[in-house]
Structure 1
């Protein structure tokens, strides 16, 4: 395992440690305890900058599917990772002073923040599309939790849900695009995709894949018309806004476009789509920003606008791919240089501005610019930071934003004069849109700083007496503002450390081995068209700023009746109504109808498939003759099954169902499948007890009069299901279309997994991933049952309404136990024997019949016998275990066993075994699969007992 893997995992480790920090050190602000994580990671990433070659590492995960945890820190990934850790460090420092230790749920906040940081690092450093997608969706989930941090506020919940819906929708579209790329190239590796890009350009799926990937990027980076989630996300605490919505999450889409540009930029459509959406987003959002009265809302639309600017530059820079190998390539690649430089600049000045807005809100109680003003004298440091940030955002010298804005103007002028547009007159619109949008940017920048800090103070409109923020809250924005000045005066500090390596990653086809892009950024270039455009921006911007309060077109709301937000809200309501109406058609509350739906679909789907495959004709010549014992068991099985519908009581129905199950276990015994026989027998035992507990609370069984047509319909469905399943079974065993894989497991069970019990080896080794997911599903199911019944009990509150003696009787009724002296006496002897046999099955299961699943069911049956003989309260006293926590512990043990294989450079859930000479015992085989089986053992006990005790009204 490379340290890059460790670096990605460190935030997740701290997320796990946060609850421990909160418990062990409750009086220390949690921010101080997690601050070392991003700081150390930033220091490590800085150390990678002098490296001549990209750092890469591979960790097998699911190699057979082409999914490996491959990490690749080239110039582009390293740039984003540095932004994530640097801004993360400052945001956490800022949050320690912004969030009150006693009033806020700091444990939740820092867990979510660490999850998000780890997800972003994994996203930008992944070289595998599937791993990238996993981290991509994790950023959506963690950002949802961060935006909804103040969940008691309706707007916070609304903003979080909107961000989740839109970004996850885009993520799923992107996922489909990734699968199309895999179908065309047979690889998930991004580096391999880039190499194969010229060969897939003419594939039918190339265009759909490109559009789907762009959809994911546009939703994440809030490009029009998917931008509507970002303003509502401003309901999050300011540290979240400063981190997610200025430097990290919204830049994920930018990263994706830059990373996938070498794959898709061969075609011109990529360039025009990225450029077009970027420019429209730029001018639209900058115009909307001027109309905002909330500081964070203004910054939100500003962020959307700046993201559009960066996106358009990446689109313009992709034109260089058309001229690979010519001098013009370097000419067009300057747009990519501007995009990367402005990416850094935007993170710096926007992070500072978000923090400044948070300070204003924190110290005055409002972000409404109509109530602010005159704060310059009482908050001089915050004013200075805000002025530097807004002037940089407006593109004024000598700040860093001025340089990247000049480079933006250069890029749009270059594309206007290129032969890509030919003689098209509309090509002049690109510089015009860029210039007009820059004017709007200038205006809202001036509004932000001067409406807040200049003019007349209005203390009567403020909730607090304004004053300067504490030093700890000021340090992060001051540091960012200082960088805005430093990178403005000395921009070449970044030229060959960050910008050129990132350009090389975006345009690998433009460079020969050993070649570099020429990156030279200067504050003064003489009197150029770009300078005159900037001067025009300032002149017109000042005029519009002066007219802003007097001209309705500049400050009145835009499209009050028709808007994208209204369309989103009405669309969700319409979908909700439609789904509700559709659900009512089939969710009638009748279990019989639900079973009819399921069985009819089963008959139709399987029957049509069997007919289409010609599998209805079964050749039975190769089957063995039925023995007398098999005939007897089949007769008993059929008889017990037919008798169930005619049972006169629920108890008899349960007994007959159990008989059918035990007959099946006898079949397994005859066919020499002891593992299956044991499992079936124990499952039937526990199931019968479960049925008894469930039916215990139901009223007496009443026979309903069923009309003859309904009986015939029931009979038809029953016969249909039986016939279809019989044909399926006979087809599967009688005419296999390929050689059975059982030989592989029989031959390799011991040599590859060190176990002679093939069934157990398959469960814990060969198909361990399936077992892992199965125990997770079991755990979720048990918690669902627990939650449903506990909610019902809390609603009834039956016991709370009874006097003390009645409460005792309540427990006697709802916690069934036996007064049979013989049963209780025998149980005292039988329970320890069953538990010992359970441990035997667990430990010997790798070589003999048994295993974690069977052993756990056996242990559960012992606990169940204890509950029946002595009562559930006695089980709680003798076994003081929270079985829900035991379930979680089991899943954790299994998961950690799988992760442990990463330490040895092996795929997830790889197992090892060896023989050791143990004193007094002798030679003994030790296998890591035993640890995984232990997780299964604990989980199954926890799940089974949670369900049994919950249904048994365990209060």
Structure 2
């Protein structure tokens, strides 16, 4: 049954269809104002589910799609799905509002921008609210497609096209891998429904396919969430307009992988491989992203690597939180705090990183550059933007009293607690977790200070700016101001999220820890006493301040990482090698001659079919149910063969055309003999039209060259043609001789009149039983007709250059 929840998921797609018409019909109004209605209404709609999920309940609605394959559009809202839905729609509404003032309606193709943006929004809602893995995968790939279009929005720029292609190749590669993992899960469990898989994880963990399925699923999650070493696509995606960066790459798309890891944690988290892969790759990404961000000179470049780092931090927390499944109760569990930190920082990151991306866009919009080497001294001319940068940057650095400080403290606490875990050899390598966390946090502090003070501190450099700097218009400031206000509110009053969003999300990720009527108790507060996490924070500020003040002296360390060995260079070289190899291979067999292509096709086809038939012992010959061959049938066969031979060996076009017509009419006569008048009529019409067209064009055809009249006999072609003909004949005879089951023709004899109401079986099959096939054939013919009409019209209009 199609419900309001299904409609909420597809509403952005429906709205995307209307956007081009609104853009055309109402050119004086910015299209964004119409688009803003969709995420705003959806955000309010999803808010209505908070009482349901807070009470520990969920909503499930099923719309049958392909029930025979267990593929149904199952919309599912629980604590985790609702959290992401609110982020997608809430941040989406703010991004649309911001884009109204950021994108000039007179210069930009707004209908394309908002169409792509709504497509992406709908795809993300489909990912986080689908209980069926195949449906989830469908929306997953739609996010890759729509993000490709958004990143390449300014397609005239080479860097935009490059970034879009890189993101597409990496994320789609991961998506295909994930699809294989999904199929393996289905093979093990017999279902695609996530809730059913979570309810019986034992069937999965005991299978030999468990580890391959887990690795393939994680590959999809890591590529989508820009985890090391797949993170390289995210910085290049910054060539997209800033509203796209603020939406896709801080709050939504890059967190799809985190959502997948969180959603499937109840299934995979009991294994050591899951713990080490998720936590290990998360910590590696956290460190490498923060370390790489310091060397960037572009504001969005800094934020891009910062996003990579923060995503790694959340992923590592989800990995550490997997240890919680090895405890029986909540009270004895040290690691539920890691899951709490992951969810809380997921929210916090969306607020401060979204505001910082918008801040970068404002600086670029009002100064004409994002290069921090040309910026400086903007504090006095852009005070509101500076305030946004300070609040967002300090929160990202983990400083009080902002929300980033609270989630960072929870992060440190989780990394310290994991050293007490006595499974998976954590007692040996667990000390690396707090060390890596502290080191990455130091670099996080450094790039946060660079972002703020290199942009707004120091002296103003008007001669290096393309525009005279000034404060942004009020409309462009509303969205980032709302986000930094949330940074402050969630920092001072964090528990307003505890019962409404965080606890239900934790229950979705770690349901096995809850008994009947139990729930997680979340209480987030600033002061935890003088403990190790607080000392780590003080040390971060001290070391980070020292590194920031001396950055010019020690930044030469980045020169130790040669460009030739960078992951971007490896990607470029791999792509170059693939293109060259593909071009060479294609050039070897794509020679521009259709006869060569037929040679390849027929040779491989005959070889595979013959091998299969021989290997399976499928050859058989039985004349038990065959009718006798009459004299006139023999005559027709001789006529057909004679005409065929003439077509092959004649040097006269006229003879070839006439002989080809004889072949077609002979086949039509066979249909008459075999009592298939519809087929005979179709064949006669086709042959008549074909022969007529050949004869009409005959006058304009060039004369056959003398060298073409003396074509040598091609023994290879003759042998292949004999083999193909023999293969097809043997298969036809074998099929007729091996009646493994009753022919489907009896079904059509019995059902044509009773079920379809027609006595002409051929017509009934074409119109009813194969109605979609016939409809699509008509559609193809219609498209071809439109194409021919368009070419003729363009030529008549004088567009000969086309």
| TM-score bucket (shorter structure) | over 0.9
SS in 2 for 1:551: helix
Is the counterpart of residue 549 in structure 1 residue 552 in structure 2?
Answer: yes
- Distance change (3 Å), C-alpha of 1:453 and 1:580: same
CA contact (8 A) 2:419 2:426 kept: no
Q: How does 1:239-254 map to 2 (within 5 A)?
A: 239-254=243-258
Match of 1:611 among 610, 614, 626: 614
Match of 2:433 among 430, 436, 440: 430
TM-score (ref. length: structure 1): 0.79
| 2:386 aligned partner | 383
Match of 2:363 among 360, 365, 371: 360
| 2:15 aligned partner | 14
Q: How does 1:633-712 map to 2 (within 5 A)?
A: 633-685=636-688, 687=690, 699-702=702-705, 704=707, 710-712=713-715
How far apart, CA to CA, are the structure 1 residues paired with 2:709 and 2:260? 62
1:941 deviates by: 3.7
How far apart, CA to CA, are the structure 1 residues paired with 2:758 and 2:448? 70
- Distance change (3 Å), C-alpha of 1:30 and 1:689: farther
1:496 deviates by: 1.6
- Distance change (3 Å), C-alpha of 1:677 and 1:400: farther
How far apart, CA to CA, are the structure 2 residues paired with 1:140 and 1:625? 61
Q: How does 1:56-205 map to 2 (within 5 A)?
A: 56-205=60-209
- Distance change (3 Å), C-alpha of 1:322 and 1:627: farther
CA RMSD of the aligned region, Å?
Answer: 2.5
How far apart, CA to CA, are the structure 2 residues paired with 1:948 and 1:736? 48
Q: How does 1:584-623 map to 2 (within 5 A)?
A: 584-623=587-626
How far apart, CA to CA, are the structure 2 residues paired with 1:693 and 1:208? 62
| 2:276 aligned partner | 272
- Distance change (3 Å), C-alpha of 1:703 and 1:612: farther
CA contact (8 A) 1:330 1:517 kept: no
1:27 deviates by: 1.5
- Distance change (3 Å), C-alpha of 1:678 and 1:510: farther
Q: How does 1:745-760 map to 2 (within 5 A)?
A: 745-749=748-752, 758-759=761-762
| 2:781 aligned partner | 940
CA contact (8 A) 1:4 1:71 kept: yes
Match of 2:375 among 372, 375, 380: 372
How far apart, CA to CA, are the structure 2 residues paired with 1:60 and 1:115? 22
SS in 1 for 2:564: coil
CA contact (8 A) 2:418 2:426 kept: no
Q: How does 1:734-773 map to 2 (within 5 A)?
A: 734-749=737-752, 758-759=761-762, 762-763=765-766, 766=769, 771=773
1:698 deviates by: 5.4
- Distance change (3 Å), C-alpha of 1:401 and 1:714: same
Q: Which runs of 5+ in 2 are unaligned?
A: 797-802
How far apart, CA to CA, are the structure 2 residues paired with 1:18 and 1:124? 24
Match of 2:321 among 317, 321, 324: 317
1:601 deviates by: 1.1
How far apart, CA to CA, are the structure 2 residues paired with 1:948 and 1:625? 50
- Distance change (3 Å), C-alpha of 1:706 and 1:131: farther
Match of 1:535 among 533, 538, 561: 538
Farther off after superposition, 425-434 or 413-422: 413-422
1:557 deviates by: 7.6
Match of 1:477 among 476, 480, 486: 480
SS in 2 for 1:331: coil
| 1:49 aligned partner | 50
- Distance change (3 Å), C-alpha of 1:557 and 1:112: farther
Q: What whole-Å deviation, never above 9, does each CA across 1:74-102 have from its counterpart, x for those lacking one? A: 11111111111111111111111111111
1:680 deviates by: 3.8
SS in 2 for 1:250: helix
How far apart, CA to CA, are the structure 2 residues paired with 1:352 and 1:953? 49
CA contact (8 A) 1:320 1:329 kept: no
TM-score (ref. length: structure 2): 0.94
| 2:800 aligned partner | none
SS in 1 for 2:563: coil
CA contact (8 A) 1:640 1:657 kept: yes
Q: What whole-Å deviation, never above 9, does each CA across 1:601-638 have from its counterpart, x for those lacking one? A: 12111111111122223112221112445444433333
SS in 2 for 1:50: helix
| 1:3 aligned partner | 4
| 2:450 aligned partner | 447
| 1:521 aligned partner | 524
| 1:895 aligned partner | none
How far apart, CA to CA, are the structure 2 residues paired with 1:517 and 1:489? 21
Q: Which runs of 5+ in 1 are unaligned?
A: 772-852, 854-932
- Distance change (3 Å), C-alpha of 1:765 and 1:65: farther
- Distance change (3 Å), C-alpha of 1:353 and 1:675: farther
Is the counterpart of residue 626 in structure 1 residue 629 in structure 2?
Answer: yes
